[in-house]
Amino acid sequence: MDPITATHKIRNKAIELGFDRCGFAQAGPLDEEAARLEEWLNRNMHGSMGWMERNFDKRIDPTKLVPGAKSVVSVLAGYRFKENEEFDSTYEGPKIAKYARGRDYHKVFKGKLKKLFQYTKETIGDVNGRIFVDSAPVMDKAWAVKAGLGWIGKNSNLLNKTHGSWFLIGEMIIDVPFVYDAPETDHCGTCTRCIDACPTDAIHQPYRVDGSKCISYLTIELKEKMPDEFQNKTGEWMFGCDICQDVCPWNRKAEYGHIDDLKPRKKVLQPDTPQWSDITEEQFNRIFEGSPVRRAKYPLFVHNAALAEKNSGSI
């Protein structure tokens, strides 16, 4: 099958499966991104995320993950929902980042990408490849940029004109050539709202984020006690953070998502407990079954909930 036809068929199938966008990039080493990543690691901006240092060669070159890889097919799906906006406009207690209020996107994307990969094999023939959803050393934002799905904003998030940054990313790395998309240009302009709004100064300069200061890191990745200097700066956030996305002008124009599994669950927005810090481990497991929040583990979640309750004045 010729690359033009293959590109058209795979893109259409991705949209049919529920993804909002699908882009194609030629596989190969990420030389510029490798230099930036190495500098970031050398400055210890990854905090305790030791896994960021491992498999460096695979992280910057997808052909190390899939021998003979010719293409990286990136997909994204939006998670902007009116239910979240209505909730956030009235609720003043501890908060969970919007992406984590529904079903675990890893599970949602993996199921859809498996179907896309199977369709690719049925359509094109003998295909070798793998699918990824934040599950291996893949620089998903860099590949999405190369696939024409957006640009890297000053908060280091991927942005595009139709979905802002309210979306999640997955990819398929395969040994099939396609017609490759042109990268998007930067449309952040002189705006610095994300930088100005960050309470921990994690976005210490445009396009540079100190991960060890990011509220998402402090409430999810950090397994030891949160440093005292950040405990009142994390505000009402007990799992993740949306501050730099909430203030981004592109997110006010973003289209709404349409995958039901990514919508916020009622039991997460309206839990059967007066205080999040009072939930039992059994309640935690029931409320967050199949949710990204389970990644935090019960003791850490309760600790962060108590801190967020104190900061928000809800206790």
Question: How far does CA 206 lie from the centroid of its chain?
Answer: 19
272 is a catalytic site residue: no
Residue of 266, 297, 292 lying closest to 107 (CA atoms): 292
DSSP code of residue 291: S
The closest of 80, 76, 143 to 112, measured between CA atoms, is 76
- Give dist(CA 18, CA 258) in Å, integer: 8
Under DSSP, the state recorded for 254 is: P
Report residue 256 as tokens. Answer: 């709404």
Token pair, residue 296, equals 């935090």
What per-residue confidence (pLDDT) applies to 52?
A: 66
Q: Counting beta carbons within 10 angstroms of the beta carbon of residue 122, is it exposed (0 to 12), middle (13 to 18) or buried (19 or more)?
A: exposed
Where exactly are the structural domains of the chain?
Answer: 3-80+97-174, 193-253+264-312
**What would the DSSP string read from start to end of 147-185?**
TTS-EE-TTS-EEBTTTBT-EEEEEEEES---PPPPPPP
Going by C-beta distance under 8 Å and a sequence separation of 6 or more, which residues neighbour residue 58? 64, 65, 136, 137
Q: pLDDT tens digits for the chain (315 residues)?
A: 899 999 999 999 999 999 999 999 999 998 888 788 778 777 777 777 765 667 778 788 999 999 999 999 999 999 999 999 999 999 888 999 999 999 999 999 999 999 999 999 999 998 999 999 987 778 999 999 999 999 999 999 999 999 999 999 999 999 999 999 999 999 999 999 999 999 999 999 999 999 999 999 999 999 888 999 999 999 999 999 999 999 999 999 899 999 999 999 999 998 877 799 999 999 999 999 999 999 889 999 999 999 999 998 866
Taking domain 3-80+97-174, whether its CATH number is 3.30.530 is answered by no
CA–CA gap between residue 166 and residue 173 (Å, rounded): 23
Q: Which of 236, 201, 245 is nearest to 307 (CA)?
A: 236
**Residue type at position 289:** E
Choose among 98, 124, 129: nearest CA to 113.
129
Catalytic hit among 20, 61, 134, 246: 134
